[in-house]
């Protein structure tokens, strides 16, 4: 079978592009720990205020017996509650998030912390903040007129000085 040289060249270009895309997927998955969220857990979004985990007084930063941290958040038009949280650097943090109303997205730039928050489901994602700093936590799914203003602040401090800084969200054990 004869293949025109020009066509053959384009076949190589296409194969190279596919190869680069596959490498990018494997690189982000293995080296950067970026995966599609696979956690499936349902919850009644209309009664979060009555739930064991997402009632108002249960939200925030919790230290776990194994030294890791759990953060429970409610996404609701237009904010993530609590609005400000403080976390230590270099520590494994598991976020658990539920929506009280419509579809939201949650994203912290420069980290692997990014997932949709679908009403009726609990979103769970684990990350580690390598260094101290202030990180915005943004909504990245259009959820209404206030979508642009839906963001909260994550302050990451050195492990040694956590949770001593002022205005720290109460840390529960």
Point out which residues bind ligand CUA (CB under 6 A): 104, 139, 141-143, 147, 150
Least Å from the CB of residue 81 to ligand CUA: 12
Tokens 């912390």, residue located: 113
Q: Which is nearer to ligand CUA, 89 or 138 (CB)?
A: 138
Q: Which is nearer to ligand CUA, 78 or 163 (CB)?
A: 78
Q: Do residues 84 and 166 make contact, with C-beta atoms less than 8 angstroms apart?
A: no
Q: Which is nearer to ligand CUA, 102 or 168 (CB)?
A: 102
Least Å from the CB of residue 43 to ligand CUA: 17
d(CA 162, CA 90): 11
Least Å from the CB of residue 70 to ligand CUA: 22
Least Å from the CB of residue 85 to ligand CUA: 17
What residue ranges in the chain does DSSP mark as E strands?
60-63, 69-76, 79-81, 84-88, 92-99, 104-107, 114-117, 122-128, 133-138, 151-157, 171-172
Of 81, 83, 60, the residue nearest 71 (C-alpha)? 60
Q: Which is nearer to ligand CUA, 96 or 147 (CB)?
A: 147
């Amino acid at each position: 079978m004869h293949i025109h040289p020009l066509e053959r060249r384009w076949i190589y270009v296409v194969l190279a592009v596919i190869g680069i895309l596959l490498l990018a997927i494997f690189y982000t998955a293995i080296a950067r720990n970026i995966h599609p969220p696979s956690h499936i857990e349902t919850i009644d979004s209309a009664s979060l205020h009555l739930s064991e985990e997402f009632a108002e007084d249960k939200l925030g930063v919790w230290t776990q017996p194994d030294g890791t941290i759990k953060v429970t958040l409610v996404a609701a038009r237009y904010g993530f509650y609590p609005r400000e949280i403080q976390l230590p650097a270099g520590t494994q943090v598991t976020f658990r998030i539920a929506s009280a109303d419509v579809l939201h997205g949650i994203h912290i730039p420069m980290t692997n912390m990014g997932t949709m928050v679908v009403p009726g489901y609990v979103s769970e994602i684990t990350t580690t903040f390598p260094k101290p700093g202030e990180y915005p936590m943004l909504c990245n799914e259009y959820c209404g007129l206030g979508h642009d203003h839906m963001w909260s602040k994550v302050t990451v401090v050195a492990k040694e000085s956590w949770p001593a800084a002022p205005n720290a969200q109460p840390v529960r054990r």
